[in-house]
Chains A and B, each alone.
Chain A
């Protein structure tokens, strides 16, 4: 092996390693279970929103597909998991969750052909149209879905027959957090694979991507389907942890919130959805306690400021912080030096 090839193989292996900052992030995420026992409900909603935003980041941040219709997958899987629980078709929540994800993925596969062609604007309209249609279908078949009253009488069996979804939301939160983590690990694995790299190339330049032998169309279909799966898991989590599902799972607001979350958190590095969801939810919670009626005004203001100031400026600060962290870690643990480099290159 030549020196260059050696260098390349070390570099590529380090590229996908977990950086200290990432590990710290997840340790803190799991520590919240003990740190903030009174906040389970909002933290659970945050975890679900984070997973939902992660699903959009996969298509927007990696493949460059903008969508206002992620709620279609969220809602379909939400109703699916509610119905199978209500009629006792699938008792085990984890199995129901995976099935709901697969149902959403099937819808993703079918509708992916609609977003292959066209510009951002047509994609926005097409994806929005699909979720509006599904919302209206759910409204029309109110015998099954409960229509505007929502799906009543859902009882979710205990997880693995052991853990009941309690009133305080403790088990629900732990469940959502673990599912979020598992999904994140899968997504992370995907984006660091050759498949993930090829997505970034077709986002960057699809003309060239096809000129080096990449079947652009099929890659887009694949990632759209995977993204729908994750969005579906998020929707099913909401139904399972609230034992309720209403028509607003299909609402435009739900899809639009995701774009806000990703604008706050940034796209294309996987943590954008997570960080964005945390900031968005807590901002919402904090402002709502100050001015319960007009909280959306302040959210809007924050959004305008973020766009004007430019996230890049904030990101540069964070990058500087990362480098500083990596240096400290390198001083304590010399063999971790390469990790810090990989982390700052990961962006």
Chain B
């Protein structure tokens, strides 16, 4: 059984069809990449999966459970978290507070209004572990707003990771990261634990082909090709669509 599956997912904005009959299936533990030219509807799919958008038709199954009508914050509790293509961070908080927030929320302490933040050692140890994993230890007391962009991108992923998802949706994690900070980011993504299933949206083909063990190609809101990286790379239709688009741009 796939851990995450969509069945005939469709999203229309008035007359525009942003996603059409998308039936995607992500296996447990996969490193699954969703690629496609600009405007193919990749981010729409992520927004549908995470519940930011409601589909016009179709269903979403997480671990065999229908989550189509489940609220975004409930999906996180059911084990699916996402990052955003454009950073969505809490600029006034520090990375430490940001991650502490997500960890205490997950452990059910979020509505606890009397205990102080960090009075439980399970929380602080987990914050420490995440801060180190995402190489944020040296900046954890800085305000997020003043962090270098690469660190903000790391925090973006760390924050989703702090929700302990079984399925992690990464929306263009490397977008806009300058070359100097890129290596750190890619290494951190590569080192994500194996048991976490990752669905990755990315433009960067180096990252896609070094990371993914399965690739789906989305064109004009519909699934075009789906297969192992070698198959997809060889597929002449993909080359045509993809390179054609790239040349236009």
| CB closest chain-A residue, reference B113 | A195
**Given the complex, which residues of A lie within 8 Å of B88, measured CB to CB?**
205, 207-208, 211
Question: Given A212-B160, A213-B77, A190–B90 Cβ distance below 8 Å?
Answer: no
Among B4-12, B122-130, B188-196, B209-217, the one that faces the other chain is B122-130
Determine the chain A residues whose CB is within 8 A of the CB of B93 once the complex forms: 197, 200-201, 204
**A6 contacts across to B, CB distance below 8 A:** 128
Give the residues in chain A near B104, CB-CB below 8 Å: 194, 197
Is there a chain A Cβ closer than 8 Å to B72's Cβ?
Answer: yes
The chain B residue with its CB closest to the CB of A9 is B124
Q: Which residues of A contact B141 (CB under 8 A)?
A: 11, 345
Which B residues touch A4, using CB under 8 A?
128, 131-132, 137, 140
Interface status of B219 (Cβ within 8 A of chain A): no
Q: Are B92 and A212 in contact (CB under 8 A)?
A: no
Q: Is A222 part of the binding interface, using a Cβ–Cβ cutoff of 8 Å?
A: yes
Q: Which of A12-51 contact B (CB under 8 A)?
A: 12-13, 15-16
Judged by a CB distance under 8 angstroms, whether A275 is at the interface is: no
**What is the CB-to-nearest-CB distance from A223 to chain B, in angstroms, rounded to a whole number?**
9
Q: In chain B, what residue has the closest Cβ to A190? A: B113
Closest to B91 in A: A204
B114, A189: Cβ atoms under 8 Å? Answer: yes
| B residues 92-106 in Cβ contact with A at 8 Å | 92-93, 96-98, 100-102, 104-106
Task: Check if B90 sits within 8 Å of A200, measured CB to CB.
Answer: yes
Given A4-B128, A12-B117, A193-B116; A213-B100 close (CB under 8 Å)? no
Instruction: For the complex, count residues of A whose C-beta is within 8 A of B.
Output: 39
Q: How far is the CB of A5 from chain B (nearest CB, A)?
A: 3
* Residues of chain B with a CB closer than 8 A to A207's CB: 52, 88
Question: What chain A residues lie within 8 Å of B73 (beta carbons)?
Answer: 210-216
In the complex the two chains form, is B72's CB within 8 Å of A211's CB? yes
**Smallest beta-carbon distance A266→chain B, Å:** 14
**Contact across chains for A208 and B84 when beta carbons are under 8 A apart:** yes
* CB contact between A16 and one of B77, B105, B116 (< 8 Å): that residue: B116
A289 contacts the other chain (CB 8 A): no
CB contact under 8 A between A201 and B100, given known A5-B129, A12-B118, A194-B117: no
Tell me, yes or no, whether A246 is within 8 Å of chain B by CB: no
Q: A212 touches which one: B112, B140, B159 (CB < 8 A)? A: B159
Contact with B along A216-233 (1 / 0, CB 8 A): 101100100000000000
Q: Which of A193, A201, A204, A215 contacts B115 (CB 8 A)?
A: A193
* Interface pair B106/A213, CB less than 8 Å apart: yes
Q: Are A194 and B102 in contact (CB under 8 A)?
A: no
Cα A229 to Cα B132 in complex, Å, equals 42
Scan A176-204; emit 1 where CB is below 8 A from any B CB, else 0: 00000000000001101111111011001
A162 proximal to B (CB < 8 A): no
In the complex, whether B50 has a CB less than 8 A from a CB of chain A is yes
Bound form: Cα–Cα A101–B129 in Å: 43
A1 at the interface (CB under 8 A from B): yes
CA distance A212 to B74 in the complex (A): 9
Is A293's beta carbon under 8 Å from chain B?
no
* B residues near A214, Cβ cutoff 8 Å: 73, 105, 110
CB pair B91–A194 under 8 Å, yes or no, is no
Q: In the complex the two chains form, what is the Cα distance from A181 to B215 in whole Å?
A: 61
Q: How far is the CA of A198 from the CA of B102 in the complex (A)?
A: 9
CB atoms of B116 and A195 under 8 A apart: no
Contact B114 A213 (CB under 8 A): no
B99 to chain A, nearest CB (A): 9
Q: How far is the CB of B80 from chain A (nearest CB, A)?
A: 10
- Known A-B contacts A201-B90, A211-B82, A212-B76; the reply to A192 vs B110 at CB < 8 A is no
A2 within 8 Å of B by Cβ?
yes
Q: Are B110 and A194 in contact (CB under 8 A)?
A: yes
Write the nearest CB–CB distance from B169 to chain A, whole angstroms.
Answer: 10
Closest Cβ neighbor of A1 among chain B residues:
B125
B163 at the interface (CB under 8 A from A): yes
Query: Residue on B with the closest CB to A207?
Result: B88
Q: How far does the Cβ of B207 sit from chain A's closest Cβ, in whole Å? A: 22
Residues in A neighbouring B91, C-beta threshold 8 A: 204-205
A5 and B101 contacting across the interface, CB-CB below 8 Å: no
Residues of B within 8 A of A212 (CB): 73, 76, 81, 101-102, 105, 159-160, 162-163
Shortest beta-carbon contacts, A-B, top 4:
A12-B118, A5-B128, A213-B76, A195-B113
Query: Which residue numbers of B lie inside 8 Å of A, CB to CB?
Result: 50, 52, 71-73, 76-77, 81-82, 84, 88-93, 96-98, 100-102, 104-106, 109-119, 121, 124-125, 127-129, 131-132, 137, 140-141, 159-160, 162-163
4 new A-B contacts, CB < 8 A, other than A195-B113, A207-B88, A215-B71, are A1-B128, A4-B128, A12-B124, A204-B91
User: Can you identify 27 A-B contacts, CB atoms within 8 angstroms?
Assistant: A4-B140, A5-B127, A8-B118, A8-B124, A9-B118, A15-B117, A194-B101, A194-B104, A194-B113, A194-B115, A194-B117, A197-B104, A198-B105, A200-B93, A205-B88, A208-B89, A208-B90, A210-B73, A211-B50, A211-B73, A211-B88, A212-B73, A212-B159, A213-B163, A214-B105, A219-B111, A345-B141
